[in-house]
Amino acid sequence: MLLHIDTDIGGDTDDLCALAMVLAWPDVEVSAVTTVAEVSGRRAGYARFALDLAARPDIPVFAGADVTGTPYRDEQVFPDEVRYWSESVTPRPGPYAAALDSLERSIEAGATIVTIGPLTNLALLERRKPGILRSARLVVMGGHIFPMRTGYPQWGNDYDYNLQVDAESAHLVLTSSRPTLVPATVTVETALRAADLPTLHRSGPLARLVARQAEAFAADERMAERIAPQYPRLPDDLVNFQHDALACAVALGWDGVDVRELPLAFTLEDAYVHERPDPSGTPTRVVTSVDGERFQRDWLRLVAGSSAA
């Protein structure tokens, strides 16, 4: 299977968790990694660092759309580089057109495009070549179609960072394509747990980097103390949610999710994108449930058990 990853790696742990899992997944060829919400090539540098740690110099990385001049809702903030990455990482800036070229090549080659960040790159590609997304195999980490289940965080549509940080781009992509949506309402039922970290520390270089970042993130964000006690279905040693890793697993055909085709209307209202069930809407594949415990086991087995990770 051919997979292209479009990522905003470098902000928290789940993009790195997703990349480590994909590299360990059997029978997958990664055509390229493009970065989005770029800040002078920092994210591309992080992606290259992780791939080199996994001994994958064959996978190209292209820096995509930079936040400069982009009407992002939130400022892009990075954690302390040495704490999270063990050393200073060299940025890899480049013309964003090269990232769009890479996405276009991947689409034309029949790759599945999985977006685990804002949809700015794909919107730019659609504006450059109208209609290209209509035939793309696209899996999007994002969406807020139904409420989160009882016992999990009851966050609203504004929590959906990937779609809302650049809502105009998200709306264009959603109305120009036939994506599979992996909503935050489902991904909050996945977890990276503190109990996973000893196993990761005993594994390969990339898995150890995941563990290092998880420990730093847990100390900074304190989800086990701030969030888990409020919601009885969350683990008491929660480090972070595995939003992006689950989206990548769905793109790779993991069968621990339920997927339904729902007619959805995509609207842009007051600078927020909305996805609502509508009988006259566009038939859209939506992940509606996940076996979160199984996903945790499968993710850990892959990442900790692979020599690539």
The tens digit of pLDDT for each residue in 32-83 reads 999 999 999 999 999 999 999 999 999 999 999 998 867 787 777 888 999 9
Q: How far apart are CA 40 and CA 37, in angstroms?
A: 10
Q: Per-residue pLDDT tens for 173-185?
A: 999 999 999 999 9
- Average pLDDT of the chain is 96
For 2-305, which CATH class?
Answer: alpha beta
Q: Per-residue pLDDT tens for 228-237?
A: 999 999 999 9
Q: What is the pLDDT of residue 158?
A: 86
Q: What is the pLDDT of residue 308?
A: 55
Q: Per-residue pLDDT tens for 286-301?
A: 999 999 999 999 999 9
Q: What is the pLDDT of residue 68?
A: 84
pTM of the prediction? 0.96
Higher-pLDDT residue of 156 and 43 is 43
Report whether pLDDT(93) > 80: yes
Q: What is the pLDDT of residue 145?
A: 94
